[in-house]
Protein backbone atom coordinates (compact mmCIF):
# COMPACT_ATOMS: atom_id res chain seq x y z
CA UNK A 1 0.00 0.00 0.00
CA UNK A 2 2.81 2.44 0.89
CA UNK A 3 5.53 0.88 -1.23
CA UNK A 4 8.05 3.48 -2.41
CA UNK A 5 7.08 6.04 0.25
CA UNK A 6 9.47 6.99 3.05
CA UNK A 7 8.55 8.27 6.51
CA UNK A 8 10.79 9.81 9.14
CA UNK A 9 9.52 9.41 12.70
CA UNK A 10 10.98 11.49 15.51
CA UNK A 11 10.48 10.24 19.06
CA UNK A 12 10.64 6.80 17.51
CA UNK A 13 11.57 4.99 20.73
CA UNK A 14 8.42 6.14 22.53
CA UNK A 15 5.35 3.90 22.55
CA UNK A 16 3.61 5.74 19.69
CA UNK A 17 6.87 5.86 17.74
CA UNK A 18 7.46 2.12 18.11
CA UNK A 19 3.95 1.30 16.96
CA UNK A 20 4.05 3.78 14.07
CA UNK A 21 7.35 2.39 12.75
CA UNK A 22 6.08 -1.19 12.90
CA UNK A 23 2.75 -0.31 11.26
CA UNK A 24 4.37 1.68 8.45
CA UNK A 25 6.63 -1.25 7.61
CA UNK A 26 3.61 -3.56 7.71
CA UNK A 27 1.97 -1.25 5.14
CA UNK A 28 5.07 -1.40 2.91
CA UNK A 29 6.73 1.96 3.63
CA UNK A 30 10.40 2.71 4.17
CA UNK A 31 10.93 4.02 7.72
CA UNK A 32 13.62 6.28 9.15
CA UNK A 33 13.09 6.04 12.93
CA UNK A 34 14.91 8.84 14.76
CA UNK A 35 15.67 9.39 18.45
CA UNK A 36 16.78 12.99 18.88
CA UNK A 37 18.66 14.44 21.84
CA UNK A 38 16.95 13.56 25.11
CA UNK A 39 15.22 10.43 23.82
CA UNK A 40 16.39 6.96 24.90
CA UNK A 41 18.32 4.98 22.25
CA UNK A 42 15.99 2.04 22.91
CA UNK A 43 12.37 1.90 24.12
CA UNK A 44 11.94 1.75 27.89
CA UNK A 45 8.47 0.25 28.42
CA UNK A 46 7.78 -1.49 25.09
CA UNK A 47 9.71 -3.66 22.64
CA UNK A 48 11.13 -2.51 19.31
CA UNK A 49 9.89 -4.80 16.52
CA UNK A 50 10.35 -2.84 13.29
CA UNK A 51 13.11 -4.07 10.96
CA UNK A 52 14.68 -0.63 10.69
CA UNK A 53 16.63 0.29 13.82
CA UNK A 54 16.36 3.63 15.66
CA UNK A 55 18.93 6.21 14.55
CA UNK A 56 20.25 8.26 17.47
CA UNK A 57 20.98 11.85 16.43
CA UNK A 58 22.57 14.07 19.05
CA UNK A 59 23.57 17.02 16.86
CA UNK A 60 23.60 18.31 13.29
CA UNK A 61 26.49 16.05 12.29
CA UNK A 62 24.27 13.02 12.76
CA UNK A 63 21.98 14.24 9.98
CA UNK A 64 24.71 14.33 7.36
CA UNK A 65 23.99 10.90 5.90
CA UNK A 66 20.21 10.85 6.41
CA UNK A 67 18.25 10.52 3.19
CA UNK A 68 15.44 13.15 3.05
CA UNK A 69 12.05 11.49 3.63
CA UNK A 70 8.74 11.99 1.84
CA UNK A 71 6.88 12.56 5.12
CA UNK A 72 7.90 13.57 8.64
CA UNK A 73 5.86 12.58 11.70
CA UNK A 74 7.05 14.47 14.76
CA UNK A 75 6.43 12.55 17.99
CA UNK A 76 9.41 14.00 19.85
CA UNK A 77 8.25 15.29 23.26
CA UNK A 78 9.52 14.93 26.82
CA UNK A 79 7.57 15.54 30.03
CA UNK A 80 8.55 15.68 33.70
CA UNK A 81 5.49 16.22 35.87
CA UNK A 82 7.55 16.17 39.05
CA UNK A 83 8.68 19.71 38.24
CA UNK A 84 6.91 22.91 39.24
CA UNK A 85 4.53 24.55 36.76
CA UNK A 86 7.15 26.99 35.47
CA UNK A 87 9.99 24.47 35.42
CA UNK A 88 7.85 21.89 33.62
CA UNK A 89 6.88 24.43 30.96
CA UNK A 90 10.52 25.41 30.46
CA UNK A 91 11.67 21.79 30.39
CA UNK A 92 9.16 20.78 27.72
CA UNK A 93 9.97 23.74 25.47
CA UNK A 94 13.71 23.28 25.94
CA UNK A 95 13.69 19.55 25.23
CA UNK A 96 10.94 19.59 22.60
CA UNK A 97 11.97 22.68 20.62
CA UNK A 98 15.12 24.64 21.45
CA UNK A 99 17.67 21.89 22.25
CA UNK A 100 17.07 20.22 18.91
CA UNK A 101 17.21 23.39 16.80
CA UNK A 102 19.77 21.65 14.57
CA UNK A 103 17.02 19.28 13.44
CA UNK A 104 14.55 22.04 12.59
CA UNK A 105 17.30 23.86 10.68
CA UNK A 106 17.99 20.71 8.65
CA UNK A 107 14.32 20.00 8.04
CA UNK A 108 13.58 23.53 6.91
CA UNK A 109 15.62 23.05 3.75
CA UNK A 110 13.94 19.82 2.68
CA UNK A 111 11.24 19.28 0.09
CA UNK A 112 8.88 16.72 1.57
CA UNK A 113 5.13 16.27 1.23
CA UNK A 114 4.03 16.99 4.81
CA UNK A 115 5.37 17.67 8.28
CA UNK A 116 2.90 16.26 10.79
CA UNK A 117 3.27 17.43 14.37
CA UNK A 118 1.52 15.38 17.03
CA UNK A 119 -0.10 17.82 19.42
CA UNK A 120 -2.82 17.31 22.02
CA UNK A 121 -6.39 18.24 22.87
CA UNK A 122 -4.85 19.51 26.13
CA UNK A 123 -4.29 22.80 24.30
CA UNK A 124 -7.94 23.31 25.26
CA UNK A 125 -9.34 23.45 28.78
CA UNK A 126 -12.56 24.12 30.67
CA UNK A 127 -11.95 27.79 29.85
CA UNK A 128 -13.03 26.97 26.29
CA UNK A 129 -16.75 26.95 25.56
CA UNK A 130 -18.29 23.83 24.02
CA UNK A 131 -18.38 22.62 21.35
CA UNK A 132 -14.65 22.75 20.58
CA UNK A 133 -13.52 22.50 16.97
CA UNK A 134 -10.18 22.78 15.19
CA UNK A 135 -10.98 26.47 14.64
CA UNK A 136 -11.54 27.18 18.35
CA UNK A 137 -8.95 29.45 19.94
CA UNK A 138 -7.08 27.26 22.47
CA UNK A 139 -7.03 28.27 26.15
CA UNK A 140 -4.70 25.83 27.92
CA UNK A 141 -4.18 25.95 31.68
CA UNK A 142 -1.60 23.16 32.18
CA UNK A 143 2.13 23.50 31.44
CA UNK A 144 1.76 20.58 29.02
CA UNK A 145 -1.05 22.29 27.12
CA UNK A 146 0.79 25.62 27.08
CA UNK A 147 3.99 24.00 25.81
CA UNK A 148 2.18 22.00 23.11
CA UNK A 149 0.41 25.13 21.86
CA UNK A 150 3.69 27.06 21.83
CA UNK A 151 5.32 24.27 19.82
CA UNK A 152 2.44 24.34 17.31
CA UNK A 153 2.92 28.06 16.75
CA UNK A 154 6.69 27.69 16.55
CA UNK A 155 6.38 25.14 13.74
CA UNK A 156 3.81 27.25 11.90
CA UNK A 157 6.11 30.28 12.05
CA UNK A 158 9.47 28.60 11.53
CA UNK A 159 8.37 26.54 8.50
CA UNK A 160 6.14 29.28 7.06
CA UNK A 161 8.20 29.63 3.87
CA UNK A 162 9.27 26.00 3.62
CA UNK A 163 8.45 23.66 0.75
CA UNK A 164 5.99 21.58 2.76
CA UNK A 165 2.78 22.18 4.74
CA UNK A 166 2.71 21.85 8.52
CA UNK A 167 -0.12 19.72 9.89
CA UNK A 168 -1.06 19.89 13.58
CA UNK A 169 -2.87 16.79 14.89
CA UNK A 170 -4.49 17.39 18.26
CA UNK A 171 -4.88 13.90 19.67
CA UNK A 172 -6.98 12.88 22.64
CA UNK A 173 -5.60 10.39 25.18
CA UNK A 174 -4.03 7.27 23.66
CA UNK A 175 -4.35 4.02 25.61
CA UNK A 176 -1.93 1.12 25.25
CA UNK A 177 0.23 -1.39 26.99
CA UNK A 178 3.39 0.43 28.04
CA UNK A 179 1.64 3.73 28.73
CA UNK A 180 2.77 5.89 31.64
CA UNK A 181 1.73 4.38 35.01
CA UNK A 182 -0.42 7.44 35.76
CA UNK A 183 -2.64 6.89 32.71
CA UNK A 184 -6.15 5.56 33.17
CA UNK A 185 -5.75 1.98 31.87
CA UNK A 186 -2.52 1.43 33.82
CA UNK A 187 -4.20 2.74 36.97
CA UNK A 188 -7.19 0.44 36.48
CA UNK A 189 -4.99 -2.57 35.76
CA UNK A 190 -2.93 -1.99 38.91
CA UNK A 191 -6.11 -1.52 40.93
CA UNK A 192 -7.71 -4.71 39.60
CA UNK A 193 -4.68 -7.02 39.56
CA UNK A 194 -2.35 -5.50 42.18
CA UNK A 195 -4.97 -4.04 44.54
CA UNK A 196 -3.56 -0.54 44.24
CA UNK A 197 -5.89 2.04 45.81
CA UNK A 198 -6.98 4.61 43.23
CA UNK A 199 -9.50 7.42 42.93
CA UNK A 200 -11.89 7.51 39.98
CA UNK A 201 -13.17 10.94 39.02
CA UNK A 202 -16.93 10.46 39.07
CA UNK A 203 -17.61 13.78 37.30
CA UNK A 204 -15.11 13.49 34.46
CA UNK A 205 -15.37 12.15 30.92
CA UNK A 206 -12.52 10.99 28.69
CA UNK A 207 -11.89 10.93 24.96
CA UNK A 208 -9.69 7.88 24.51
CA UNK A 209 -8.19 6.21 21.42
CA UNK A 210 -6.55 2.80 21.34
CA UNK A 211 -2.99 2.99 20.06
CA UNK A 212 -3.70 0.93 16.90
CA UNK A 213 -6.41 3.36 15.85
CA UNK A 214 -4.29 6.42 16.68
CA UNK A 215 -1.34 5.17 14.64
CA UNK A 216 -3.48 4.51 11.56
CA UNK A 217 -5.13 7.92 11.77
CA UNK A 218 -1.73 9.62 12.07
CA UNK A 219 -0.43 7.78 9.02
CA UNK A 220 -3.52 8.60 6.95
CA UNK A 221 -3.31 12.25 8.00
CA UNK A 222 0.33 12.34 6.86
CA UNK A 223 -0.82 11.02 3.49
CA UNK A 224 -3.93 13.12 2.92
CA UNK A 225 -4.28 16.10 5.29
CA UNK A 226 -5.17 19.26 3.38
CA UNK A 227 -5.65 21.80 6.18
CA UNK A 228 -3.40 22.89 9.02
CA UNK A 229 -5.20 21.72 12.19
CA UNK A 230 -7.28 18.67 13.07
CA UNK A 231 -8.83 17.28 16.22
CA UNK A 232 -8.67 13.49 16.54
CA UNK A 233 -10.90 12.62 19.47
CA UNK A 234 -13.37 9.82 20.11
CA UNK A 235 -16.78 10.49 21.72
CA UNK A 236 -16.52 11.15 25.47
CA UNK A 237 -16.95 8.27 27.94
CA UNK A 238 -17.55 8.77 31.64
CA UNK A 239 -14.50 7.67 33.65
CA UNK A 240 -16.70 5.73 36.05
CA UNK A 241 -18.11 3.84 33.05
CA UNK A 242 -14.59 2.94 31.89
CA UNK A 243 -13.86 1.70 35.42
CA UNK A 244 -17.11 -0.29 35.53
CA UNK A 245 -16.39 -2.01 32.22
CA UNK A 246 -12.80 -2.74 33.28
CA UNK A 247 -14.09 -4.43 36.42
CA UNK A 248 -16.61 -6.53 34.49
CA UNK A 249 -14.21 -7.57 31.70
CA UNK A 250 -11.32 -8.37 34.06
CA UNK A 251 -13.52 -10.24 36.52
CA UNK A 252 -11.60 -8.44 39.26
CA UNK A 253 -12.86 -6.07 41.92
CA UNK A 254 -11.28 -2.61 41.66
CA UNK A 255 -9.75 -1.05 44.74
CA UNK A 256 -11.23 2.28 43.67
CA UNK A 257 -13.00 5.20 45.31
CA UNK A 258 -15.45 7.28 43.28
CA UNK A 259 -14.69 10.95 43.94
CA UNK A 260 -15.84 14.17 42.27
CA UNK A 261 -12.35 15.61 41.79
CA UNK A 262 -13.38 18.57 39.62
CA UNK A 263 -16.87 19.68 40.70
CA UNK A 264 -16.69 23.00 38.83
CA UNK A 265 -14.97 21.76 35.68
CA UNK A 266 -16.93 21.41 32.44
CA UNK A 267 -16.11 18.35 30.34
CA UNK A 268 -15.03 19.23 26.80
CA UNK A 269 -17.15 18.35 23.78
CA UNK A 270 -14.97 18.03 20.69
CA UNK A 271 -16.02 18.24 17.06
CA UNK A 272 -13.71 15.50 15.89
CA UNK A 273 -12.13 15.19 12.44
CA UNK A 274 -11.58 11.43 12.68
CA UNK A 275 -14.11 10.65 9.95
CA UNK A 276 -12.09 12.73 7.48
CA UNK A 277 -9.39 10.06 7.65
CA UNK A 278 -11.57 6.97 7.59
CA UNK A 279 -10.44 4.20 5.24
CA UNK A 280 -10.88 0.45 4.92
CA UNK A 281 -7.47 -0.25 6.48
CA UNK A 282 -7.95 2.02 9.52
CA UNK A 283 -8.33 -0.05 12.68
CA UNK A 284 -11.24 0.72 15.01
CA UNK A 285 -11.25 -0.52 18.60
CA UNK A 286 -14.24 -0.14 20.89
CA UNK A 287 -13.93 0.31 24.66
CA UNK A 288 -14.48 -3.35 25.56
CA UNK A 289 -11.93 -4.58 23.03
CA UNK A 290 -9.47 -1.91 24.20
CA UNK A 291 -9.77 -3.05 27.80
CA UNK A 292 -9.51 -6.71 26.84
CA UNK A 293 -6.34 -6.15 24.79
CA UNK A 294 -4.66 -4.06 27.47
CA UNK A 295 -5.41 -6.65 30.17
CA UNK A 296 -4.07 -9.48 27.99
CA UNK A 297 -0.93 -7.58 27.02
CA UNK A 298 -0.18 -6.58 30.61
CA UNK A 299 -0.68 -10.14 31.84
CA UNK A 300 1.40 -11.52 28.99
CA UNK A 301 4.34 -9.22 29.70
CA UNK A 302 3.97 -9.63 33.45
CA UNK A 303 4.21 -13.39 33.06
CA UNK A 304 7.26 -13.09 30.82
CA UNK A 305 9.01 -10.71 33.20
CA UNK A 306 7.93 -12.58 36.31
CA UNK A 307 6.57 -9.40 37.90
CA UNK A 308 3.05 -10.69 38.45
CA UNK A 309 1.82 -14.10 39.58
CA UNK A 310 -1.33 -14.35 37.55
CA UNK A 311 -2.77 -16.88 35.19
CA UNK A 312 -1.82 -16.12 31.60
CA UNK A 313 -5.00 -15.78 29.51
CA UNK A 314 -3.67 -14.36 26.25
CA UNK A 315 -6.11 -15.49 23.55
CA UNK A 316 -4.57 -17.89 21.05
CA UNK A 317 -6.41 -16.35 18.12
CA UNK A 318 -5.09 -12.86 18.87
CA UNK A 319 -2.11 -11.51 16.98
CA UNK A 320 1.03 -11.55 19.10
CA UNK A 321 1.83 -8.05 20.29
CA UNK A 322 4.66 -6.09 18.78
CA UNK A 323 5.05 -3.81 21.79
Report which of residues 312 and 259 the model is more confident about: 259
Report which of residues 100 and 312 the model is more confident about: 100
CB atoms near residue 210 (< 10 Å): 22
pLDDT at residue 261, as a whole number: 86
Could you tell me which residues come within 8 angstroms of residue 274 by beta carbon, excluding any fewer than 6 positions away? 217, 232, 233, 234
Interval 279-306: pLDDT, tens: 999 999 999 999 999 999 999 998 877 6
pLDDT (mean) for 260-286: 94
In a domain, 243, yes or no: no
Q: Residue 234, preceding bond cis, omega within 30 degrees?
A: no
In a domain, 185, yes or no: no
Number of structural domains (the chain) is: 1
The candidate with the shortest Cα–Cα distance to 25, out of 48, 55, 56, is 48
pLDDT at residue 302, as a whole number: 85
Global pTM exceeds 0.85: yes
Pairwise CA distance, residues 295 & 90, whole Å:
36
In a domain, 105, yes or no: yes
Interval 189-248: pLDDT, tens: 999 999 999 999 999 999 999 999 999 999 999 999 999 999 999 999 999 999 999 999
In 75-122, the DSSP E strands lie at 114-120
pLDDT score of 316 more than 50: no
| Strand 237-238 with 205-206, pairing | antiparallel
pLDDT score of 320 more than 60: no
Interval 148-199: pLDDT, tens: 999 999 999 999 999 999 999 999 999 999 999 999 999 999 999 999 999 9
* 3-class DSSP assignment, residue 221: helix
DSSP one-letter string for 54-78 = PEEE-SGGGGTTPPPPSEEEE----
pLDDT at residue 306, as a whole number: 66
CATH code of the domain in which 160 resides? 3.40.50.720
pLDDT (mean) for 110-134: 97
pLDDT score of 317 more than 70: no
Pairwise CA distance, residues 124 & 209, whole Å:
18
Residues 102, 107, 108, 110, CA torsion sign: positive
In a domain, 54, yes or no: yes
pLDDT at residue 310, as a whole number: 40
In a domain, 112, yes or no: yes
Domain range for 105: 6-177+207-235+268-282
In a domain, 190, yes or no: no
Amino acid sequence: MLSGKSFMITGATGRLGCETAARLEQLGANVIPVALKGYPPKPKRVRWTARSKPVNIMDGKGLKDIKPPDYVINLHWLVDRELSFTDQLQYELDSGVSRISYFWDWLKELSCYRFVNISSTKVFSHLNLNPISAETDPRPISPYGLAKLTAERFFDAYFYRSNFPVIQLRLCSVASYGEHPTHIMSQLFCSAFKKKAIKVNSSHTMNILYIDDAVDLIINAALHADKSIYILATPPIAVYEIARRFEEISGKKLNAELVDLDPKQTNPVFQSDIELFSASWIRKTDLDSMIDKIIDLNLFHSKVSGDLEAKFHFKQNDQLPYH
